[in-house]
């Protein structure tokens, strides 16, 4: 169905049909000039974050199903709220689509958005829908909350704090390399070669999943809370471990020392890096899109930190004049660099 | 200067340099995973709205200075918060730019955004900055607040309520027609004809200003408050009076009856419509981008409503079965239609 058959308001009605708020703070969702929220409890803090995803920069529709794109776009935003030690509550979604898009495409995108919202208890409360002369543009804003005393900034890391990372790093980046390789194979095949049109990801399924369907680490935030641990600093790893660690060091006026051998890697990431003749540590440090949590804990909580599931201690915070250093397997030291992922 | 010389983080630092929060509710602005806000007073409501502006759809950089674009993008969002009878407090700005953009272009855009924020006492607290393979894409989210008892929805209009409109309508639409005409003249001129390259807007300055530099009507909201008037329903006119009135009627389960002769028009709008051989009422009903306020007041407040400055009473709310009707100057009746502005 063409979007013009429904019109803007018909489209919004269809995409937001049956949405029911699940949070007490959501008083009015889609359907007015603004969503209306109640965050009136004393000592509560409201957390807000926005992320934009552009076709051709952040995603390639050749290998990104729209449902996955919607799911991932939501996760990217939830991840920022968890990274403040908060709970995501509301989501606003703005979408600009080109003329090649049909209503069914948007249904798919919203199916992914809704699934992500359901799983994390978030209410879709508004946004904007418009045309684009070219590609698909997505912009999401997530609102969450936390007790004032629970909010964790980037700026609270202290000397001797342990540096911890959840999950493993570099997998989404290797997934991206695989997708790009299969795309090149697909595009250069003879039109009659049906077999070459079937991508081969066997043995790499985990990497593809990490790229297309990342999960915001609510479980880590819950685990920390259950263990009575409050990180001194925290952020999510979207641009690569190096870049994020440097953000924490800058905001907290400190240095850091991390150990290559302790950086968590999945077996598939290591195998795939070798296949591509890449240094797996470089992929883990600069790959980006991991959406894992990076946080610091006081040295005195070492025992509890070591017991956290799916969390690794990779180093420690140091005095600022010692710089930000990676210690390699053979004992050499290198300064960390922020290559970043979203290069202009 | 090329954006790549600064990098993403250098660019963000430059664009957000010296930003100081002016609202007590802004605890932490740009620089972490989320902005942190305090909306903890009992009975306060948080209002949130998002708008996306795409190059080639919502604006044409041939005749839109970037500073004006930034200013307008902010106003469009503030207008939504005022339309709920609230006060805008924080703004998040996401920008995607193509490779033809330089740092100075973004400086201009942010100069407009900052000016708008200063004038309306709003804090710029976050957003996202990224590349675009094609045009400029802007997505803004505004957060505001209001006392629970002061929030005005679209759904509260009652039979016999007066329908009121601020300012005048159709001017921005005529400004757009003028700009498009001058653009065609400019593009079809011989390259040597310097004179044709100078657009001629004499006598139409007001229309151009309405298009390029709209003002969100905080003054109307203040005036209503000072007069002790609380609208039963309110929204801002972005897609055209017809379309917005139908939204109110749908949300409030009512009909309406408005009078052509009472629709507020500026003299320049009328002259320009004649020049373009257009029906000025059609322009006022469907033109869009007026960013005036449309609201309803109980009939019992007729006297106070009539005394409001820069506000006109254009009709009344009716029973739903009477439909939504325009009464023309010669007494004929026509059903209102939602042509809308942002057509897909």
pLDDT digits (tens, 9 = 90+) for A216-231: 999 999 999 999 999 9
Instruction: Decide the pairing of beta strands A26-28 and B123-131.
Output: unpaired
Span B145-172, mean pLDDT?
96
Provide the chain B residues 18-37 that lie in CB contact (below 8 A) with chain A: 27-28, 31-37
Closest Cβ opposite residue A40 in set B44, B83, B235: B44
Minimum distance, in Å, between the CA of residue A215 and any CA atom of chain B: 17
pLDDT in tens, B189-223: 776 666 656 677 788 999 999 999 999 999 999 99
Residue A152, φ and ψ in degrees, nearest 5: -115, 120
To the nearest whole angstrom, how far is the Cα of A48 from the nearest Cα of chain B?
Answer: 5
Q: Decide if B48 and A56 are in contact by the 8 Å CB cutoff.
A: no
Nearest to A22 by CA among A160, A122, A112, A111: A122
Distance between CA atoms of residues B49 and B142, nearest Å:
5
Neighbouring residues of A203: CB distance < 8 A, sequence distance ≥ 6: A268, A271
The H or E element that residue B107 is part of is helix B103-120
Tokens at residue B327, please? 């009464």
Cβ within 8 Å, pair A33-B45? no
User: CA separation (Å) from A185 to A182, A277, B206?
Assistant: 5, 18, 57
| Confidence at residue A344, expressed as pLDDT on a 0 to 100 scale | 46
What are the CA-CA distances from residue B79 to residues A190, A270, A279, B221, B240 (Å)?
Answer: 55, 52, 52, 10, 14
Mean pLDDT of A201-209: 89
Work out the average pLDDT over A225-247.
95
Chain B residues whose beta carbon lies within 8 Å of the beta carbon of residue A154: 31-33
- The stretch B131-154 carries a mean pLDDT of 92
Please judge whether B45 and A58 are an interchain contact, meaning their C-beta atoms are less than 8 angstroms apart. Answer: no
> Which chain B residue is nearest to residue A93, measuring alpha carbons?
B50
- Does residue B12 sit at the A interface (CB-CB below 8 Å)? no
The reply to whether residue A54 touches residue B141, judged by beta carbons under 8 angstroms, is no
Note the pLDDT of residue A206. 95
Q: Does B3 touch chain A (CB under 8 A)?
A: yes
On whether any CB of chain B is under 8 Å from the CB of A57, the answer is yes
Residues of B in contact with A131 (CB under 8 A): 54, 57, 342, 344
Query: CA gyration radius for chain A?
Result: 21
User: What pLDDT, on the 0 to 100 scale, is given for residue B196?
Assistant: 57
Task: Calculate the alpha carbon distances from B55 to A68, A223, B134, B137, B321 in Å.
Answer: 26, 45, 9, 6, 41
pLDDT surpasses 70 at A210: yes
CB nearest A33 (choices: B33, B137, B235): B235
Say yes or no for a CB contact (<8 Å) between A128 and B151.
no
Q: Does B57 touch chain A (CB under 8 A)?
A: yes
**CB proximity list for B184: less than 8 A, separation 6 or greater:** none
Tell me which of B201 and B266 has the higher pLDDT: B266
Contact between A344 and B134 using a beta-carbon 8 Å cutoff: no
What pTM, to 2 d.p., does this model score? 0.92
CA nearest to B30 within chain A: A49
The pLDDT assigned to B195 comes to 61
Residue linked to tokens 């000592």: A43
> Which residues on B lie below 8 Å from A78 (Cβ)?
none
Is the predicted pLDDT of residue B312 greater than 80, yes or no?
yes
Calculate how close chain A gets to B342, using CA atoms only, in Å. 7
Neighbours of A271 (CB within 10 A): 14
Find the closest chain A residue to B36 by CA distance: A47
All residues of chain B having their beta carbon less than 8 Å from the beta carbon of residue A342 are: 8, 130-131
Residue B133 and residue A56: Cβ atoms within 8 Å?
Answer: yes
CA distance A209 to chain B (A): 24
Reported as a single tens digit per residue, the pLDDT across A53-75 is 999 999 999 889 999 999 999 99
Q: Which of B76, B87, B123, B141 to mutate to test the interface with A (most CBs of A within 10 A)?
A: B141
Chain B neighbors of A40, CB-CB under 8 A: 39-44
- Please name the residues between 247 and 286 in chain A that touch chain B, using a CB distance below 8 Å: 251
Q: Which residues share a beta bridge with B237?
A: B292
Please tell me whether residue B271 adopts helix, strand or coil conformation: helix
Interchain CB distance below 8 Å, B154 and A50: no
Q: Which of B 223-242 lie inside 8 A of A, CB atoms?
A: 235-236
Q: In angstroms, what separates the C-alpha of B52 from chain A's closest C-alpha?
A: 6
Q: How far is A8 from chain B (nearest CA, A)?
A: 7
Establish if A75 touches chain B: CB-CB under 8 angstroms: no
Distance between CA atoms of residues A81 and B295, nearest Å: 36
Q: What is the mean pLDDT of residues B17-36?
A: 86
Please indicate whether, in this complex, the C-beta atoms of B11 and A36 are within 8 angstroms of each other.
Answer: no
pLDDT per position as a tens digit, A5-56: 888 778 888 888 888 888 888 888 888 888 888 888 778 899 999 999 999 9
Residue of B5, B10, B38, B48 for testing the chain A interface, max A β-carbons within 10 Å: B48
**Mean pLDDT, residues B90-110:** 92
Residue B99: pLDDT band with limits 50, 70, 90: confident
C-alpha A11: how far from its chain's center? Answer: 28
Chain A stretch 136-165, residues whose beta carbon is closer than 8 A to a beta carbon of chain B = 137, 139, 141, 143-144, 148, 151, 153-155
- pLDDT value of residue A343: 42
Shortest distance between the Cα of B130 and any Cα of chain A, in A, equals 7
- Minimum distance, in Å, between the CA of residue B307 and any CA atom of chain A: 26
Q: Looking at per-residue confidence, does A202 or A229 come out higher?
A: A229
Q: List helix spans (H) across chain A.
A: 3-15, 66-82, 103-120, 171-188, 205-212, 218-226, 241-252, 267-275, 280-286, 302-307
Cβ distance B46 to A37 less than 8 Å, yes or no, reads yes
Note whether B54 contacts A: Cβ–Cβ < 8 A. Answer: yes
């Amino acid at each position: 169905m063409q979007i013009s058959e429904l019109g803007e308001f018909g489209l919004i009605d269809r995409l937001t049909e049956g949405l029911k708020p699940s949070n007490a703070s959501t008083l009015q969702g889609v359907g007015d000039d603004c969503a209306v929220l109640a965050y009136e409890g004393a000592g509560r803090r409201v957390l807000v974050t926005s992320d934009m995803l552009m076709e051709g920069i952040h995603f390639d529709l050749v290998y990104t199903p729209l449902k996955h794109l919607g799911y991932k776009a939501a996760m990217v935003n939830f991840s920022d709220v968890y990274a403040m030690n908060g709970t995501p509550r509301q989501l606003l979604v703005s979408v600009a689509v080109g003329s090649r898009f049909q209503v069914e495409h948007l249904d798919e995108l919203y199916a992914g958005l809704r699934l992500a919202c359901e799983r994390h208890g978030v209410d879709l409360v508004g946004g904007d829908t418009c045309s684009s002369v070219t590609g698909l543009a997505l912009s999401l804003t997530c609102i969450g909350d936390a007790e004032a005393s629970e909010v964790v900034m980037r700026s609270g890391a202290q000397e001797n704090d342990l540096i911890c990372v959840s999950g493993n790093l570099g997998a989404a980046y290797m997934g991206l390399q695989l997708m790009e390789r299969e795309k090149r194979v697909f595009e250069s095949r003879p039109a009659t070669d049906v077999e070459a049109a079937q991508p081969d990801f066997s043995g790499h399924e985990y990497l593809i999943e990490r790229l297309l369907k990342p999960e915001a680490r609510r479980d880590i935030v819950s685990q920390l809370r259950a263990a009575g641990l409050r990180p001194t600093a925290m952020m999510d790893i979207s641009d690569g471990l190096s870049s994020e660690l440097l953000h924490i060091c800058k905001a907290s006026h400190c240095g850091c020392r991390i150990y290559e051998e302790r950086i968590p890697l999945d077996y598939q990431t290591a195998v795939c890096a070798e296949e591509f003749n890449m240094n797996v540590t470089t992929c883990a440090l600069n790959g980006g899109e991991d959406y894992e949590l990076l946080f610091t804990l006081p040295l005195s909580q070492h025992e509890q930190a070591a017991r956290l599931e799916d969390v690794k201690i990779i180093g420690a915070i140091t005095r600022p004049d010692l710089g930000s250093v990676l210690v390699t397997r053979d004992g050499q030291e290198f300064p960390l660099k922020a290559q970043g992922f979203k290069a202009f």
